[in-house]
Structure 1
Amino acid sequence: MGKKICVVFPGIGYHTDKPLLYYSKKYMMAHGYDIVDVTYGKLSGHLPEEIQKVFDDGWNKAVDCLKNVDFSDAEDIVFLSKSIGTAISARYVAEKGLKVRNIYFTPLEITMQYANSNGIAFHGTADPLVNTGEITKLCEERHIPLYRYEGGNHSIETKDILWNIKTQKDIAEKYIDYLNF
């Protein structure tokens, strides 16, 4: 039986101690996955104005971060990613030719330039960085199920803490079902 690897690609200000990544990472650890955290350090540029600059910088840092990870004998690889991390993870899969199951939290439109159909995505309809209609169309074209949360921001949250908790539970149920342990 090969090893199981889960690589976590955070967003710029959305680190692994925030709900979407915190709970999904905990779930993966509880199911025997070796966790690899991608770290970017300080990224140059700001979203959305300088998305290409941020993406290129994050890409280079992620490749460096993963250079010693041996995916060759992995029985299962899961990439958890958030925001700009979704684009970096999708490009990594495309360029390295890996067989990966992707969980995209708040993917950006640039993500879909690289994404294959092996994944699911989650999006808040009040996300100021992403057009809901556009991300819906792009996910449909790639056969990636997209779960939309009405009124959720780029963290899929609102001012209503009970909505946030209920939404986190719904998101977790959907990615657990996708992973189908």
Structure 2
Amino acid sequence: MKVNIKSKMIGDKEIQYTHIQNNSKVVCIMFSGAGYTYDKPLFYYSTMKLIEGKIDIVHIHYSYSQDELNLPIAGIADIITNDVEPIIDEVLNCGEYRESIYFGKSIGTIPIINEIMVKHPKSTFVLLTPLLKYELFMRPLLESQSKILIIAGSKDHHYVLEKIEALMNKNNIKVKVVNKANHSLEIEPFDTLSSISSLSDTIQSISRFIR
């Protein structure tokens, strides 16, 4: 296994990414949340599981100011999408990958839904706690025919029951709802052991989906 830290200039900003290479023909490109980074449990153990499965992995290390995050959601979507697309192109062009998986959490689901599902419809998509309260992201999900896994917590402020039910009616979308889980997919009220058990179940669900 080789781990390379690379960077790419996107306009006037430099964005780093980590490329974990296992000589695989499959690559999983990951997009973190605003504060939920790759050392957090969902990403850490998903990455471990992917390494165990001999899949190549890319972590894109973007970050945004509070002013940028306070923009209208369409503006945030444009910024993140413009930042990650050149890196995706670079990764796919430099490797001989036959399959790609796109894995996002919270704002990391934005470029996936906003653009990547359209450009790479035959890929596999894992969306953790997507921002479903924004109508901007529902139509692309409902129109997509791609293979999609959505995992959401019933106590997440972005959880909208009517939208979850609509997505459950799509044959190409698998939806997993974690009961009593918040936006970090941790159990509320604060329950350490239940959160660990839920984390294990979530990682197993992801592993089965991308197998």
Q: TM-score, normalised by structure 1?
A: 0.85
- Alignment correspondent of 1:135: 164
Structure 2 residue corresponding to 1:38, chosen from 50, 60, 66 = 60
**Structure with greater contact order relative to length (CA < 8 Å, sep ≥ 6):** 1
Question: How many Å apart are 1:135 and its aligned residue?
Answer: 2.9
Please tell me whether the aligned partners of residues 112 and 139 of structure 1 are also in contact (alpha carbons under 8 angstroms).
Answer: no
Query: Quick one: structure 1 residues 112 and 143, their matched pair in 2 at CA, closer, same or farther if it must change by over 3 Å?
Result: farther
Gaps of 5+ in 2: 1-22
Separation of aligned partners in 2, 1:67 and 1:108: 25
**TM-superposed deviation, 1:161:** 0.8
Long gaps (5+) in structure 1: none
Aligned-partner residue type, residue 180 of structure 2: G
What corresponds to 2:33 in structure 1?
11
Q: Which has the higher strand share?
A: 2
Does residue 202 of structure 2 align to residue 171 of structure 1? yes
SS in 2 for 1:145: strand
Aligned-partner SS, 2:83? helix
Change (3 A) 1:11 1:113: farther
Residue 166 of structure 1 and its aligned partner are, at CA, apart by 0.5
Identity of aligned residues (%): 26
Structure 1, residues 42-82: CA drift from partner, whole Å, max 9, x if none? 25124xx8322222211111113323122683122111111
Shift in Å, 1:2: 6.4
- Structure having the higher Rg: 2
Corresponding residue number in structure 1 for 2:106: 83
Q: Distance in 2 between matches of 1:42 and 1:20?
A: 21
Q: 1:21·1:80 contact (CA, 8 Å) conserved in 2?
A: no
User: How many aligned residue pairs are there?
Assistant: 178
Say which SS state the counterpart of residue 54 (structure 2) adopts. coil
Normalised to the residue count of structure 2, the TM-score between the two structures is: 0.74
